[in-house]
């Protein structure tokens, strides 16, 4: 079984929560899908095979995913919260195309280090951060002409 599924089940029992058919289905679909899905995105995908599952359940389940660390909530300023599966990989930030919505992930240790320096300079203790770069992806730059 996937590591994520195990993590989720462990979290549920440890919190006195219950393992249900819906939660399993939602997790399976979430892990199968591309990342950066909104609640509604996932709800609509699920509805095709499982019309009975309610929006509220998807919403609540995604929240549990992020509580137990297998997903992370993101907010790219389009008014919808998006969730992405946390991989074993490191933290990453995003390039976001304003035209087609494409999301490119990147990591830059240099930027991260400079952030820590900035925080130190202000006596500030970092808990988290987010860096989003908005613009046009290569494809959309070519389209423009």
Residues 6+ apart with CB under 8 A from 5: 27, 31
Q: Rounded to an integer, what distance in angstroms lies between the CA atom of residue 39 and that of residue 7?
A: 21
87 binds a copy of itself (CB under 8 A): no
129 binds a copy of itself (CB under 8 A): yes
* Of 64 and 137, CB closest to DNA: 64
Binding site partner of 56, from Mn ion, Zn ion, a copy of itself, none, Cβ cut-off 5-8 A by kind: none
Q: Rounded to an integer, what distance in angstroms lies between the CA atom of residue 115 and that of residue 107?
A: 13
Considering only residues 110 to 129 of the shown chain, the ones binding DNA according to CB under 7 A are: none
99 binds Zn ion (CB under 5 A): yes
Considering only residues 75 to 94 of the shown chain, the ones binding DNA according to CB under 7 A are: 79-81
DSSP 15: T
140 binds Zn ion (CB under 5 A): yes
SS3 105: strand
Considering only residues 70 to 129 of the shown chain, the ones binding Mn ion according to CB under 5 A are: 84, 105
Q: Rounded to an integer, what distance in angstroms lies between the CA atom of residue 51 and that of residue 91?
A: 35
Q: Rounded to an integer, what distance in angstroms lies between the CA atom of residue 15 and that of residue 88?
A: 23
* Of 32 and 122, CB closest to a copy of itself: 122
Q: Which two tokens stand for residue 45?
A: 């995908």
* Of 44 and 133, CB closest to a copy of itself: 133
Binding site for DNA (CB under 7 A): 12-13, 16-23, 38-40, 52-57, 59-61, 63, 79-81
């Amino acid at each position: 079984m996937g590591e994520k599924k195990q993590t989720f089940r462990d979290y549920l029992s440890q919190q006195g929560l219950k393992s249900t058919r819906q939660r399993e289905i939602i997790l399976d679909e979430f892990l199968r899908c591309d990342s950066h899905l909104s609640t509604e995105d996932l709800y609509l995908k699920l509805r095709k095979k499982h019309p009975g599952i309610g929006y509220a359940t998807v919403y609540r389940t995604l929240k549990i995913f992020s509580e137990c660390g297998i997903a992370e909530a993101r907010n790219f300023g389009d008014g919808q919260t998006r969730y992405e599966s946390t991989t074993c990989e490191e933290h990453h930030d995003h390039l976001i195309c304003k035209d087609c919505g494409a999301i490119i992930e990147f990591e830059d240790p240099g930027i991260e280090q400079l952030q820590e320096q900035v925080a130190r300079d202000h006596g500030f203790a970092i808990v988290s951060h987010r860096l989003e770069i908005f613009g046009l992806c290569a494809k959309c730059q070519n389209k423009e002409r």
